[in-house]
């Protein structure tokens, strides 16, 4: 878990993400369109369709151009989806949304299908010009979607209809009208209210909880969030980026460096921009406004990304009362105005936890400052070591602790109201729970928030849970890559309220659930803080510092995992040896059974034959094996002993062969 973020990382965090990959232009023979793709990608042109793909062949991108037909984008999308559903029975369109494409308003259709048991991801971009309409399709496996997401986004952003240049294409001047001289301003038709290029009302929103539990925000579904926080001095930052990397909103808020006034802070930010970006072109005017003790700056400009494409940004910097706020929105050149309502709505949707930052309006720190009183000092934390060297964390000196081993711990205040928990729980699935064992929880595989609620209810810790959940697909991908493989896996962070023995409580948790291939057992792991609802805001600063202080010993964890792998391999070896031994034992027993059956059959046949023929066999002392019948007695080699029929007088002293052991011992 990240504990600190450096100031230079914050500045990089606010800059646009760039890649060092070389690109090459690709277009069609008719000179209708152009895109920029990685230099090592292969190009296959077939009539109006062109396909480009990486050397690995794990993905491809197809561009198709035709003369514009008299249909709307939505109707064209419906026709394409219908045709693909006929050609691919597993094809299913999941979502569609308006996006800027080739300097125009386009439409993105997200879809998927299954090919030979492999799940595929397909993003279909549609755009219409005055004379032509284009379709750009990005294909890859579901497993590779995250790896190709930004690359596909950059290629889509590079699409341009060269046969029909537009005034706001990426190569045009994107200086905002309000910063141009009046005689150079472009006269644009007014945009009707409620009909912006990308309507906020049409965006599907989802909640996000920061990984350090310091703030929440609402963002468009699927957009990627990165955030960081440090406690002393207070500094936090986040960025929200479009899945294809087209748009980004970012913010940094923290303590102003000592001895710097507003102008010095602004100069430092601009110097960092010039250092980190290429072809930076700032608008000639920086708007300035003074509000109380704060100085607010607003400036705009463009810069060139790694492929020499223009990107447009707008930045607000607020400096005052010892704090600096730096907010920035950006998009491909010419598209910022259209997407700005969505980006600004993201900034408006953020909510900061109370009493964590000095800029928390209404919190205890601000109220104390307004009363010209110093804010209460933070509670002093004492570092504690976990048993067997598993790790460390810090908590107030008077807090109680229960060490559960293997890095798991429960810590609470003397009143046992504020609780910090790092723990795990095991579950058995119903189909394998043949014997009811007290204390064993039985349930099908659940998501982390469902599993935590189930365990708390079963163990009597709480009830009536109400959750606000954020899926952590990024952490799921990391777990699948390094630990779980194809096993069931889910990761979530969630805020919630519940009833703990009649008292209203609030909690925050980061949890994961992992199953096994047999679907017989599964486990829950979680990092959790609980406190009474009425005291949660007041206790949160201390509890968040406890969370940030928790750190596992990497060597111990690695050793534990290595021991686990070794034990697993030894167990497999023992199991293999046991199976081999059992197999050999079964082979020998089956062989012995077969031989016994044969010997019994031989003896039974012998008795039957002797009875039918009226013959009987004896052991006659020195003569050994003797056979008798109505004509006399004979030795084993056929020599006659007597011609008289056998009888009691002749066989007296001889032992009749009338048992299987004796028959097998002297069998002629």
482-494: pLDDT as tens digits: 677 778 899 999 9
Which whole number is the average pLDDT over 577-589?
Answer: 89
Residue identified by tokens 């690109």 is 23
* Domains parsed from the chain with CATH numbers: 17-164 (3.40.1000.10), 200-370 (3.40.1000.10), 381-552 (3.40.1000), 614-668 (no CATH)
Residue 129, pLDDT score: 86
Please give the share of the chain, as a percent, with pLDDT higher than 90.
23
Which whole number is the average pLDDT over 157-184?
Answer: 53
Residue 297, pLDDT above cutoff 80: yes
Burial of 530: CB neighbours in 10 Å, binned 0-12, 13-18, 19+: buried
Determine if the peptide bond prior to 328 is cis (ω within 30°).
no
3-state SS record for 458-471: HHCCCEEEEEEEEE
At 217-234, the pLDDT tens digits run: 888 988 888 888 776 667
What average pLDDT does the chain have? Answer: 80
User: b or e along 227-252 (b: 16 or more beta carbons within 10 Å of the residue's beta carbon)?
Assistant: bbbbbeebbbbbbbbbbbbbbbbbbb
More confident residue, 280 or 166: 280
Instruction: List all residues 6 or more positions away from 49 whose beta carbon is below 8 Å from its beta carbon.
Output: 62, 63, 64
More confident residue, 217 or 10: 217
C-beta of residue 465 within 8 angstroms of C-beta of residue 496: yes
Burial of 460: CB neighbours in 10 Å, binned 0-12, 13-18, 19+: exposed
pLDDT band at 316 (very low <50, low <70, confident <90, very high): very high
C-beta of residue 350 within 8 angstroms of C-beta of residue 240: no
Residue 191, pLDDT above cutoff 70: no
User: How is 431-450 classified by DSSP, letter by letter?
Assistant: GG--S--TT-EE-----HHH
More confident residue, 157 or 170: 157
183-192 own/partner pairs: CB under 8 Å, 24+ apart: none
d(CA 192, CA 334): 19
Residue 250, pLDDT score: 93
**DSSP bridge partners of 499:** 463, 504
Residue 550 backbone zone (phi > 0: left; psi -120 to 50: alpha; other: beta): beta
d(CA 288, CA 298): 7
pLDDT band at 355 (very low <50, low <70, confident <90, very high): low
Residue 646, pLDDT score: 59
Residue 602: count of CB within 10 angstroms of its CB: 13
pLDDT band at 315 (very low <50, low <70, confident <90, very high): very high
Residue 346, pLDDT score: 92
At 603-617, the pLDDT tens digits run: 898 888 888 877 778
Residue identified by tokens 């609620």 is 453
Q: State in Å, rounded, how far the first CA of the chain is from the last one.
A: 86
Residue 186, pLDDT above cutoff 60: no
Residue 229, pLDDT score: 76
* CA of residue 203 relative to chain centroid, distance: 23
pLDDT band at 632 (very low <50, low <70, confident <90, very high): confident
Burial of 59: CB neighbours in 10 Å, binned 0-12, 13-18, 19+: buried
Helix, coil or strand: residue 149 = helix
Residue 517, pLDDT score: 77
Residue 187, pLDDT above cutoff 50: no
d(CA 546, CA 530): 12
Angle at 376 between CA 370 and CA 382, to 5 degrees: 155
Residue 419, pLDDT score: 95
Question: Which pair of tokens denotes residue 151?
Answer: 């690359």
Q: Between β-strands 419-428 and 441-442, what pairing exists: parallel, antiparallel or unpaired?
A: parallel
At 640-664, the pLDDT tens digits run: 777 666 565 566 677 788 888 888 8
Which whole number is the average pLDDT over 335-358?
Answer: 82
Residue 245, pLDDT score: 84
Residue 458, pLDDT above cutoff 60: yes
More confident residue, 475 or 362: 475
Indicate the range of 63-67, 587-591, 640-644 predicted with least confidence: 640-644
Instruction: Pick the closest to residue 474 from 241, 218, 246, 249 (CA basis).
Output: 241
pLDDT band at 412 (very low <50, low <70, confident <90, very high): very high
Q: Between β-strands 23-27 and 287-291, what pairing exists: parallel, antiparallel or unpaired?
A: unpaired
Instruction: List all residues 6 or more positions away from 132 whose beta carbon is below 8 Å from its beta carbon.
Output: 32, 33, 65, 66, 67, 68, 161, 163, 164
More confident residue, 244 or 167: 244
Angle at 658 between CA 656 and CA 660, to 5 degrees: 135
Instruction: List all residues 6 or more positions away from 497 whose beta carbon is below 8 Å from its beta carbon.
Output: 465, 466, 504, 505, 506, 507, 533
Residue 15, pLDDT score: 32
Residue 178, pLDDT score: 39
For 660, phi then psi, to 5°, come to -65, -40
User: How is 559-621 classified by DSSP, letter by letter?
Assistant: HHHHHHHHHHHHHHHHHHHHHHHHHHHHHHHHHHHHHHHHHHHHHHHHHHHHHHHT-EEEE-G
Using DSSP, how many helices (H) and how many strands (E) does the chain show?
A: 12, 36
Indicate the range of 62-71, 359-368, 557-566 predicted with least confidence: 359-368
Residue 202: count of CB within 10 angstroms of its CB: 10
Most confident range (mean pLDDT) of 244-253, 261-270, 348-357, 361-370 is: 244-253
At 26-51, the pLDDT tens digits run: 888 778 888 988 888 888 888 788 99
Instruction: Pick the closest to residue 288 from 254, 311, 310, 265 (CA basis).
Output: 265
Residue 168, pLDDT score: 40
Residue 649, pLDDT score: 59
pLDDT band at 239 (very low <50, low <70, confident <90, very high): very high
Please give the share of the chain, as a percent, with pLDDT higher than 70.
82
């Amino acid at each position: 878990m990240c504990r600190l973020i450096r100031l230079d990382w914050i500045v990089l965090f606010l800059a646009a993400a760039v890649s060092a990959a070389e690109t090459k232009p690709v277009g069609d023979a008719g000179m209708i369109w152009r895109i920029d793709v990685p230099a090592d990608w292969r190009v296959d042109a077939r009539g109006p369709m062109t396909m480009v793909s990486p050397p690995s062949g794990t993905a491809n991108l197809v561009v198709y151009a035709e003369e514009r037909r008299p249909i709307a984008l939505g109707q064209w999308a419906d026709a394409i989806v219908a045709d693909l559903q006929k050609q691919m029975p597993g094809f299913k369109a999941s979502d569609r949304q308006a996006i800027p494409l080739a300097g125009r308003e386009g439409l993105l259709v997200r879809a998927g299908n299954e090919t030979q048991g492999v799940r595929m991801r397909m993003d279909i971009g549609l755009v219409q010009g005055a004379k032509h309409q284009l379709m750009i399709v990005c294909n890859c496996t579901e497993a590779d979607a995250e790896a190709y997401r930004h690359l596909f986004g950059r290629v889509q952003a590079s699409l341009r209809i060269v046969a029909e240049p537009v005034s706001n294409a990426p190569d045009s001047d994107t200086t905002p009208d309000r910063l141009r001289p009046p005689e150079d301003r472009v006269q644009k038709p007014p945009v009707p209210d409620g009909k912006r290029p990308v309507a906020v009302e049409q965006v599907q929103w989802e909640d996000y909880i920061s990984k350090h539990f310091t703030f929440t925000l609402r963002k468009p579904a699927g957009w990627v969030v990165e955030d960081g926080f440090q406690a002393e001095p207070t500094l936090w930052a986040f960025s929200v980026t479009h899945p294809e990397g087209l748009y980004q909103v970012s913010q940094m808020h923290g303590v102003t460096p000592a001895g710097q006034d507003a102008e010095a802070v602004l100069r430092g930010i601009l110097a960092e921009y010039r250092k980190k970006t290429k072809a930076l072109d700032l608008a000639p005017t920086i708007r300035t406004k003074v509000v109380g003790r704060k100085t607010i700056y607003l400036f705009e400009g463009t810069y060139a990304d790694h492929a020499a494409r223009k990107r447009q940004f707008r930045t607000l910097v607020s400096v005052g009362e010892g704090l600096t706020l730096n907010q920035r929105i950006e998009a491909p050149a010419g598209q910022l105005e259209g997407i700005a309502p969505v980006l600004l709505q993201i900034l408006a949707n953020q909510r900061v936890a109370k009493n964590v930052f000095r800029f928390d309006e209404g919190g205890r720190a601000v109220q104390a400052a307004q009363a010209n009183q110093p804010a209460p000092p933070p509670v002093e934390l004492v570092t504690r070591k976990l048993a067997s060297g598993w790790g460390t964390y810090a908590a107030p000196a008077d807090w109680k602790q229960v060490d559960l081993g293997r890095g798991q711990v429960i810590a609470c205040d003397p009143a046992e109201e504020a609780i910090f928990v790092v723990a795990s729980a095991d579950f058995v699935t119903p189909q394998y729970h043949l014997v009811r064992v007290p204390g064993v929880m039985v349930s099908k595989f659940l998501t982390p928030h469902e599993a935590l609620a189930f365990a708390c209810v079963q163990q009597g810790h709480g009830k009536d849970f109400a959750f606000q959940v954020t899926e952590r697909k990024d952490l799921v991908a990391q777990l699948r890559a390094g630990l779980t493989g194809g096993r069931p896996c889910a990761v979530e962070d969630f805020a919630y309220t519940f009833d703990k023995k009649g008292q209203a409580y609030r909690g925050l948790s980061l949890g994961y659930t992992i199953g096994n291939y047999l679907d017989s057992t599964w486990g829950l792991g979680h990092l959790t803080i609980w406190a009474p609802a009425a005291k949660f805001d007041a206790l949160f600063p201390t509890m968040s510092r406890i969370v940030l202080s928790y750190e596992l010993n990497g060597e111990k964890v690695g050793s534990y995992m290595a021991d686990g792998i070794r034990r697993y391999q030894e167990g497999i070896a023992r199991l293999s040896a046991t199976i081999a031994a059992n197999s050999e034992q079964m082979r020998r027993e089956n062989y012995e059974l077969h031989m016994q059956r044969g010997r019994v059959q031989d003896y039974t046949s012998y008795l039957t034959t002797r009875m039918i023929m009226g013959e009987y066999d004896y052991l006659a002392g020195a003569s050994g094996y003797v056979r008798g019948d109505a004509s006399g007695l004979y030795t084993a080699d056929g020599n006659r002993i007597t011609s008289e029929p056998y009888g009691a007088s002749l066989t007296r002293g001889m032992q009749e062969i009338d048992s299987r052991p004796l028959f097998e011992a002297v069998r002629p």
